[in-house]
Structure 1
């Protein structure tokens, strides 16, 4: 049977980020669905567009009231809907690994494979504990975004980033951290579509949803290592893989390498599509 690929985006992004991947997958005969996680569009206010920073800094956000359950729900709903058509391959990028892991814990019987593309897969500790580990120390993402933060996420309950306020030097630091293969002009297109507001998942018990051996552990899982990633270093990616393998030694990660920065593969979708194309054969043959 032909599987459906359900794509889940990362932080500061939306389902739109998968457009080129979906076109490439469609040209190969695959069925796909890219979902939006909650709160997309929050922060795209008049104050943000006009760079009225005083007003922008005080505007509330729907992100402040959202929970991990709110983020898992659209993933679960999407899987339940498309499952009627056959096998399901759930694909996560970056932060998207958190709601995808929660969904895999909740409905393992409906998912034929989970694919993590440099995505978070917490096993031994809460998600917010990983960025403080040595494996994350070389990440260029946090230093690049720090000057653009608006307010204190821990006090306001959400993350607000003034992407459009970045000067050339700051944009270049962001580009190198996120999509080093892109030109300055290409990266500007990323900046203008980046979501200003995002949920603050780094603290709080609510986001402590780790991969469960008896549910998540039943599902075949693949980890796509992005070998040029400067946002989630290879050491951090390998840590998620090692912890997952220790949790389910009889069902280890199927590990694939892709020569890409953290988000560069979105612009060059053929590499990822080739990996997913191969996995579709396994999912179709092994449909449960």
Structure 2
């Protein structure tokens, strides 16, 4: 049976990020669904668009009360609905790995494969503990976004980044951190569609999801390493793979590589689509 690919976006993003990938997958004959995690897809406020910073800083956030549980529920619901049409392959990018891992813990019997594209896959520790590890020390993302952050995430309960405030030098730093192979004009399209608010997942037990050996560990899985990633360094990606393989040595990751930055592949999707195209044959043949 033909599988459905369910795409889950990363931090500061939305379903829109997968549009080029979906077009490429459609051209290859595949059925796809891209999800907006809770608080996404509603567009931008007038204050953010017009850069009325005083008003923007005081605005409530659509992700203020979003939890891992609400995100996971949305992913689970999508999988349950798509499963009526055949096998389901869950594809997560970056932060999207957290709700995808939680969904895999909850409904392993409904998921035929998980594909982590430089996505978080916590196994041995809470998600928020990984950025403090030495493997993350070469990441450029935090330093590139720090000048654009508005307010204190710990007191606000969410992260707010004013992407539109970046001057040329700051945009250059962001481009190198996120998608260095894109031209400046291509990267401007990334900035224009980036969501300013993100859940504050770095602390708190409510965000402590870890891969479960007896549920998540039953599902075939692929990790697509992005070899030019300067947001989630290659060493971090390899750590997730190593921990997952140690948890279930009889069901290790199928590891693939893309010569891409953290988000560049989203604008140039053919190589990822080729990997997913290959995996679709396995998902269809191995449908449980």
TM-score by length of 2: 0.98
Q: Is the 8 A contact 1:124 1:210 kept in 2?
A: yes
What are the ranges of 5 or more consecutive residues in structure 2 without an aligned counterpart?
A: none
Deviates more, 1:34-43 or 1:199-208: 34-43
Q: State the secondary structure of the residue aligned to 1:37.
A: coil
1:101 corresponds to:
101
Q: How does 1:1-288 map to 2 (within 5 A)?
A: 1-41=1-41, 44-288=44-288
TM-score normalised according to structure 1 size: 0.98
Q: How many residues align?
A: 288
The runs of at least 4 consecutive aligned structure 1 residues that moved more than 4 Å come to none
SS for the counterpart of 1:64 is: coil
Measured after TM superposition, the shift of residue 155 of structure 1 is 0.7
RMSD: 0.9
Instruction: For 1:155 and 1:36, locate their aligned partners in 2 and report how far apart those are by CA, in whole Å.
Output: 25
Inter-partner Cα distance in structure 2 for 1:41 and 1:280:
28
Answer yes or no: is the 8 Å Cα contact 2:15–2:41 preserved in 1. no
> Where do 5+ consecutive residues of structure 1 fail to align?
none
SS in 1 for 2:64: helix
Structure 1 residue 83: Cα displacement: 0.2
Inter-partner Cα distance in structure 1 for 2:41 and 2:83: 28
The structural deviation recorded for 1:133 is 0.4
**8 Å Cα contact 1:8-1:15 kept in structure 2:** yes
Shift of 1:62: 2.6
After TM superposition, give the deviation of residue 42 of structure 1 in Å: 6.4
Q: 1:232·1:262 contact (CA, 8 Å) conserved in 2?
A: yes
1-structure distance, mates of 2:281, 2:62: 40
CA distance in 2 between partners of 1:21 and 1:41 (Å): 18
User: CA offsets per residue over residues 223-265 of structure 1, 9 Å max, x none?
Assistant: 0000010000000000000000010010000000111000111
SS of the equivalent of 1:159 reads strand
The CA distance in 1 between the partners of 2:195 and 2:126, in whole Å, is 25
